[in-house]
Amino acid sequence: YDDRDGKIWMDGKLVDWRDAKVHILTHALHYASSVFEGERCYNGKIFKSTEHSARLLKSGELLDMPIPYTVEQLNAAKDEVLAANGLTDAYVRALAFRGAGDEMGVASLGNPVRVAIACWTWGAYYGDAKFKGAKLDIAKWKRPSPETIPTAAKAAGLYMICTMSKHAAMAKGCSDALFFDYRGYVAEATGANIFFVKDGEVHTPNPDAILNGITRQTVIGMLRAKGITVHERYILPEELADFEQCWLTGTAAEVTPVGQIGDYTFEVGALTRDIATEYEALVRA
């Protein structure tokens, strides 16, 4: 991804893609002092741009790393980098991190908080699973307690076990891994939230140890507007046997049906297809 044409927004200005570099003593590389957003632009407009900018600022606050831009400035910067790359349908990655500076150790108050925004074309996150249903492995790692790490932040440190779990899943021919949390409840995938259907009602994990995804909140609103009951609750692993349908939500994943989790199978049913289609229409509206 580093050797290509294009522009990346870095600390207030556009730089050539190839020159968007940091020093090896960048604090974030050593200590995970980094938070980010994944967003999608559809037909020239970023879906929920303000919500994503606000979450980036919140993630920075949670990591004791104040980000020196406002929501409005971040929104404008994202639009600027999309325009500079001539993209109207793209994935947008905003990143804030502690740079190199006065200190090189755990403490980093003397190091600047830097912001970069890149964008690129990115199609269906799970490829053809979007139509036939993704196959998920069960991760051996658990989503940690909010007393262990600020789980509400979209922070790089929370993704170490995501990368490891996704690699393990791919080695078994799966698209992704499903995590249980530190208490043993069903939690989320490595970059997406999860929903289940049983008897016409929808069940999704409580967002107290997972990322409360912007897509998750959007889809819950869509379901309730259709008059469908949504239960946000603790879900036990053994309940996977009883659910009829399952899907994942996320900015990159959008609404992706799940056909299998471990040994449990699910049908790609009517509600799953309806929600996927309606989400697609909403983001392009």
Residues that bind ligand PMP (CB under 6 A): 38, 154, 188, 191-193, 211, 213-216, 249-251
Q: Is 154 a catalytic residue?
A: yes
> Which DSSP letter does residue 155 get?
B
Shortest distance, CB of residue 212 to ligand PMP, whole angstroms? 8
Q: Which residue of this chain has its Cβ atom nearest to ligand PMP in the complex?
A: 213
CB of 245 or CB of 249, closer to ligand PMP: 249
Shortest distance, CB of residue 210 to ligand PMP, whole angstroms? 6
CB of 144 or CB of 191, closer to ligand PMP: 191
Strand-strand pairing, 186-189 and 176-181: antiparallel
In the numeric block, which tokens belong to residue 40? 């999608």
CB atoms within 10 A of CB 237: 15
Shortest distance, CB of residue 177 to ligand PMP, whole angstroms? 11
Q: How far apart are CA 237 and CA 132, in angstroms?
A: 23
Question: Helix 71-84 and helix 49-62: axis angle, to 10°?
Answer: 120
Residue 153, CB half-sphere, CA atoms under 13 Å: how many? 28
Q: How far apart are CA 160 and CA 142, in angstroms?
A: 12
Shortest distance, CB of residue 165 to ligand PMP, whole angstroms? 11
CB of 14 or CB of 97, closer to ligand PMP: 97
Region class of 227: left (phi > 0), else alpha (psi between -120 and 50), else beta: left
The number of angstroms, rounded, from the C-alpha of 227 to the middle of its chain's C-alpha atoms is 27
CB of 17 or CB of 122, closer to ligand PMP: 122
> Which is nearest to 232 in space by CA: 257, 213, 254, 256?
213
Shortest distance, CB of residue 272 to ligand PMP, whole angstroms? 17
Shortest distance, CB of residue 137 to ligand PMP, whole angstroms? 15
In the numeric block, which tokens belong to residue 32? 């995970």
CB of 37 or CB of 264, closer to ligand PMP: 37
CB of 8 or CB of 162, closer to ligand PMP: 162
Catalytic residue among 154, 166, 198, 226: 154
Strand-strand pairing, 134-143 and 254-261: parallel
Burial level of 149, CB count in 10 A (0-12/13-18/19+)?
middle
DSSP H or E stretch at residue 49: helix 49-62
CB atoms within 10 A of CB 224: 12
Residues with a known catalytic role: 154
